[in-house]
Amino acid sequence: MTIKIALLGAGTVGSQVARLLKEENELLSARAGAPLELVGISVANLEAERDPWIDRDLLTTDSKALIEKADIVIELIGGVDLPRELILHALRSGASVVTGNKALLAEHGPEIYDLAKEQNVDVYYEAAVAGAVPVVYAVRESLAGDTVTEIQGILNGTTNYILDEMTTKGLAFDEVLKVAQDLGFAEADPTADVDGHDAAAKIAILASLAFHKRVHINDVQVEGIRSITANDIAAARAGGYVIKLVATARQEAGKIEVRVNPTLVPQSHPLASIGGSFNAIVIEAEAADRLMFYGRGAGGAPTASAVLSDVVAAAAKRVVGGRAPQEIVLGESEFVSADDSRSKYFIRTKVKDQVGVLADLAAKFAQSDVSISSVRQDERAEDGEAELTVTTHTARAADIAATIDSIQQAKTAQVVRVLRVGDE
C-alpha cells in the first residue's frame, strides 16, 4: 500500500515540503507505516524557475486531475477562492486534506469541516497557526481533558519584527516597514500583516478549537499597528511595558471575546521577551494552569515541518484506520460586544502644564466610572504643554470611549493615543 500525495503550490513552503518528502522519505514512510509517494505538484506556471530538488516531471497545471489521483492533498496555494474550490474537490474525491491556509479556514472552516465529516475524511491544519509550533494540537487534543479559559498570542512575525525594531532602534513605523519589505520579511502589500487580519484569522481558528464554538474572522475585533509611533513605544517603556500585537481569545460566563490589538505587555510577562519574527502563545487552562509555546511562526522550513507532521498523521490513519479529532460545536457562539469588552487602558494625553489640570482630568474619568491606577507626567514640557499618561484599572471599552469624548469636548486635554494594557 502506497500513500499518494498531491502537492498544490510550490512556493516557499510548498518547495520545502517537496524537499523533505524527498530527502526524508524513508523516515517519513516508517512513521506513516506505508511508503509515501509524491504523485504531482500543481503550479500556475510550468516554466517558472524552481528549486533544484523539484522534479519537473511532477509539475502540472491541472490541479483537479492531480487531486483525483491522491490519498492526501496538501494545499499551499494561498488566497481563498481557488484553495476553497480545490479543497472541496479533494474532500469530495475522498482524499484527506492538509492545509496551512488560515484565511480560508477562518472564513470557510465550517463548510470544509462539514463536508469532511460527511465524506468521512479529515482536514489537518497545524501549519495554519504559528508554523512549527504545535498549538493547534495543544488546544484540539492536548487540552482535551481540560477547560481553556484564555489564549494570548503573538501570532504574526512580521508585525512583531516591526514593533521590535521600532522598540530597540527608536525608528518610525514607515521606516521599519520599508526595511522589512526590502529584506523580504514583509510583503509588498503588508495589509494582512500590519492591519492584524492574519493574526485575526489565526486566533479565530484557535478560539473555535478551544471553546468548541464557531468563530468567524469577522467575529474578531481587529486593530493593527499602523498608528503606533516611536513616542507610544517610549511612553509604554517608561511605564514598564512593551508594545506587542497581541491576539486574545477568552471565554467567561459563556461569552467569547476574540481580539487583536496593539497591547502594552508588562515587561515581566512571557510575551514581552518574544523578539524578531518568533511567535509565542500563552494558554491558560483550568487544570493545566499556564502553558507557553514558542517558535518560528513562519518561513518555508518551519511551516513545512508542521505540514509533514500532518501528512504523517493523515497517512497513518489511512494505513491503520482512525480519524482525526472531529470539530466539536457545543451550541451557538455568543460574543462580548465591542462596547462591553474590558481591559486596562493606557491613555496618552497632552495638557497645558498648569495647576489643576490633573484634577480636571481625574474628574472626567470619575464621571464615566473609570478608575485610574496611575498617572505619569512627563517632565519635559514643550510650549507650556506637558504629556500626561493615565493607566486605568479594568474598564469597559464604552466607558473609556465616553471618557475620551468628554475630555476632548471639554478641551481638558488632547488625547494622543488610547491603548489596551495586558494582564500581568
Residues assigned a catalytic role: 202
Q: For residue 335, what is the DSSP state? A: B
Window 198-227: contact mask with its own copies (x via CB under 8 A):
--------------x---------------
Q: Which stretch binds its own copies (CB under 8 A): 105-113, 189-197, 239-247, 303-311?
A: 303-311
Contacting its own copies (CB under 8 A), which of 34, 58, 171, 291? 291
Residue (28 or 222) nearer to its own copies, CB:
28
Q: Which stretch binds its own copies (CB under 8 A): 63-71, 139-147, 153-161, 345-353?
A: 139-147
Q: Which residues contact 122 (CB under 8 A, 6 or more apart)?
A: 96, 97, 116, 314, 317, 323, 324
From 24-32, 187-195, 221-229, 356-364, give the range in contact with its own copies by CB under 8 A.
24-32
Residues that bind its own copies (rule: CB under 8 A) add up to a total of: 59
Rounded CA-CA distance 375/346 in Å is 10
* Beta bridge partner(s), residue 421: 264, 344
- The residue among 317 and 364 lying less far from its own copies, judged by its C-beta, is 317
Cell of 119: 465524506
Report the Cα 314 to chain-centroid distance in Å: 24
- Reading the block at residue 85, the C-alpha cell is 474550490
CB 6 within 8 A of CB 74: yes
- Residue 144 CA to its chain's centroid (Å): 21
Distance of CA 98 to the CA centre of its chain: 19
By C-beta, is 207 or 220 nearer to its own copies? 207
Q: How far is the CB of 150 from its own copies (least distance, A)?
A: 14
Of the candidates 406, 409, 414, 359, which has an alpha carbon nearest to the alpha carbon of residue 386?
414
Q: Confirm or reject binding of residue 249 to its own copies (CB under 8 A).
A: no
CB 300 to its own copies: min, Å:
9
Q: C-beta of 293: minimal distance to its own copies in Å?
A: 6
Q: Are 351 and 361 within 8 A, CB to CB?
A: yes
8 Å CB contact between 315 and 72: yes
Q: Is 394 in the site for its own copies (CB under 8 A)?
A: no
**Under rule CB under 8 A, residue 239 binds its own copies:** no
Task: Out of 116, 132, 222, 243, point to the residue binding its own copies (CB under 8 A).
Answer: 132
Phi and psi at residue 217, in whole multiples of 5°? -60, -30
Exposed, middle or buried: residue 23 (CB in 10 Å: 0-12, 13-18, 19+)?
Answer: exposed
Among 6, 77, 306, 390, binds its own copies (CB under 8 A): 306
Residues 205 and 136: beta-carbon distance below 8 Å: yes
Show the binding pattern over residues 154-193: x = contacts its own copies (CB under 8 A), - = does not: ----------------------------------------
Contact of 377 with 357, CB cutoff 8 Å: no
Residue labelled with grid coordinates 517608561? 238
Which parts of this chain interact with its own copies (CB under 8 A)? 16, 20, 24, 27-28, 30-31, 33, 126, 131-134, 137-138, 141-147, 212, 270, 273, 285-296, 299, 301-302, 304-309, 311-313, 316-317, 320-323, 325-326, 328, 330
